[in-house]
């Protein structure tokens, strides 16, 4: 019965995802078409003098001279056949660039996601179990401070302190300069990944910590905790048997809901640390009017966030049996 319910919800979610992708594609294409920046002019800039005839041939090849509706249907038709177009900036197929850059961005975002989840949940539990004590006051002020500071500013400070002054981490990039990709070891990649991942994790761990703190306080003030204390259970037993079980689900919810925020923060972090991921690619595509790459990354990021939210919804029923019973 539960498996049928999962399949039904999965089918409904797929319909929603495809509807959302269609809406995002229409809006994104309309915004790009209404942009005052001429992609043809950006393409031929720096290529020397171009005659009017050559410019007309480029416009005809890209279909810029056609109506927006016709260009949209032509683009979606090619998209349904797996053709995302060719990047004007990198002169390579868009799908190859997304595949290559996504591996770097995925490693960065997953490390930051794990860091923020573990650190945020741990600090939230410490604050909730020590309400109004010195541990709670110090960590809470730290969360408020880090939650109000922009990600790029934290990245610049970390870059100056830990990379330039102390020299503990490299200044930027995902691999050492001058080395082939096949020569780079896993430890060198991790060494380049730690600082941007930790910077990105600071963006979302404050929310997880503060929400976990409040949930832990609510749990510790509940009647079943009062009954457990009357039975002589200690603080560690109360946390392990009751607090941990009742605060994991909200923390998981926040973590999966932070996918969109995490992807947005990666754009700033990757540009600060010159990290070659989707964030730096979409910034370069926007600044250079690389329409095929910009639209491709937009759709891919939308799909990525939707998959994260769908995974969270499916995990709810596995983590919390009460939600499973309500859905049945």
Does residue 33 lie within any of the structural domains?
no
Whether 113 has a pLDDT exceeding 60, the answer reads yes
Can you give the residue range of the structural domain that contains 149?
A: 94-327
Q: What is the pLDDT of residues 270-288, one digit of tens each?
A: 888 888 888 888 888 877 7
Residue 106 lies in a domain: yes
Q: Which of the residue ranges 93-97, 146-150, 182-186 would you say has the lowest mean pLDDT? A: 182-186
Residue 317's pLDDT is what? Answer: 62
pLDDT at 256: 74
Would residue 323 count as lying in a domain?
yes
Structural domain contains residue 65: no
Is 76 a member of any domain? Answer: no
In a domain, 213, yes or no: yes
Give me the mean pLDDT over the 83-91 stretch.
Answer: 81
Give the tens place of pLDDT for each residue, 208-233: 888 888 888 888 887 877 777 777 77
Per-chain mean pLDDT for the chain: 79
Q: Which of 62-66, 155-159, 196-200, 216-220 has the lowest mean pLDDT?
A: 62-66
Q: Is the model's pLDDT at 12 over the cut of 70?
A: yes
Contact 272, 152 (CB under 8 A): yes
Tell me the mean pLDDT in the region 110-126. Answer: 87
Q: Can you give the CATH number for the domain in which 178 is found?
A: 1.10.3720.10
Higher pLDDT, 233 or 114: 114
Q: pLDDT per residue over 23-66, tens digit each?
A: 888 888 888 777 777 777 766 765 667 777 777 777 777 677 77
Q: Which of 84, 32, 73 is nearest to 288 (CA)?
A: 32
Most confident of 15-19, 62-66, 238-242, 262-266: 15-19
Q: Is residue 51 part of a domain?
A: no
Q: What is the pLDDT of residues 228-251, one digit of tens each?
A: 777 777 777 777 777 777 788 778
Give me the number of domains the chain comprises: 1
Say how far apart CA 200 and CA 113 lie, in whole Å. 8
- Say yes or no to pLDDT of 6 above 60: yes
Residue 327 pLDDT: 53
Contacts of residue 304, defined as CB under 8 A and 6 or more positions apart, other chains included, come to 259, 263
- What's the Cα-to-Cα distance from 194 to each of 109, 173, 248, rounded to whole Å? 11, 12, 26
Residue 244 domain-assigned? yes
pLDDT of residue 244: 78
Kindly tell me if the per-residue pLDDT of 1 is higher than 60.
no
Provide mean pLDDT across the span 127-143.
87
């Amino acid at each position: 019965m539960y498996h049928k319910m999962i399949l039904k919800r999965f089918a409904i979610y797929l319909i929603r995802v495809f509807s959302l992708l269609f809406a995002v594609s229409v809006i994104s294409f309309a915004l790009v078409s209404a942009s005052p920046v001429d992609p043809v002019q950006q393409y031929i800039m720096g290529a020397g003098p171009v005659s009017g005839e050559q410019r007309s041939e480029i416009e005809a090849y890209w279909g810029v001279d056609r109506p927006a509706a016709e260009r949209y249907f032509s683009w979606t038709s090619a998209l349904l056949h797996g053709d995302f177009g060719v990047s004007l900036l990198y002169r390579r197929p868009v799908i190859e660039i997304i595949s290559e850059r996504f591996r770097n961005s995925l490693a960065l975002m997953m490390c930051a996601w794990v860091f923020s989840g573990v650190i945020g949940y741990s600090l939230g539990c410490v604050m909730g179990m020590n309400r109004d004590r010195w541990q709670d006051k110090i960590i809470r002020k730290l969360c408020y401070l880090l939650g109000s500071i922009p990600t790029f500013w934290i990245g610049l400070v970390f870059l100056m302190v830990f990379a330039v002054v102390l020299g503990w981490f490299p200044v930027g990039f995902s691999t050492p300069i001058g080395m082939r990709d096949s020569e780079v070891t896993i430890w060198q990649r991790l060494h380049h990944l730690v600082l941007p991942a930790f910077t990105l994790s600071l963006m979302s761990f404050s929310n997880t910590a503060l929400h976990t703190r409040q949930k832990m306080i609510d749990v510790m003030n509940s009647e079943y905790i009062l009954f457990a204390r009357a039975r002589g259970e200690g603080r560690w037993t109360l946390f392990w048997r009751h607090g941990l079980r009742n605060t994991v689900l909200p923390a998981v919810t926040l973590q999966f809901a932070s996918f969109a925020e995490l992807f947005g923060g990666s754009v700033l972090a990757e540009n600060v640390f010159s990290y070659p991921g989707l964030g730096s690619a979409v910034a370069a595509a926007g600044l250079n009017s690389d329409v095929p790459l910009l639209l491709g990354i937009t759709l891919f990021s939308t799909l990525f966030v939707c998959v994260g939210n769908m995974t969270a919804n499916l995990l709810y029923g596995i983590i919390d049996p009460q939600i499973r019973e309500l859905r049945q």
